[in-house]
A and B are shown apart, each in its own frame.
Chain A
Amino acid sequence: MANTKEIQDRMKSIKDTLKITNAMYMISSSKLKKSKKALEATEPYFYTLQSTMSRILRHLPDLDDIFFRHTEDISLEERRVGYIVVTADKGLAGAYNHNVLKLAEEHLNNCPNSKLFVLGELGRHYFEQRNINIDQQFHYTVQNPTLNRARNISETVLDLYMENELDEVYIVYTKMVNAIQTETEFLQLLPLKKADFEVPSLPGGIPVEEIQFRPSAKVVMDQIVPDYVVGFVYGALVESYSSEQNSRMMAMEAATKSAKDMLHELGILYNRARQTAITQEITEVIAGAKSQKNKK
Chain B
Amino acid sequence: MITKHKSVTTLAIVALLFTGVACKRGHDNPGLEFAPNMYESVGYEPYRQIKPNPINPTGLNMRLPARGTVARPNYHTTFGKGDSAKTDLMIYNIPADSISIAERVLVNPIPQTEQSLADGQLLYTRYCSHCHGATGQGDGPVGKEYKGVPNYTTDAYKSMNDGHIYHVITHGKGRMWPHGSQITPEDRWKIVQYVHKLQQG
Do they bind each other?
no
- Chain A residues within CB distance 8 Å of chain B: none
- Chain B residues within CB distance 8 Å of chain A: none
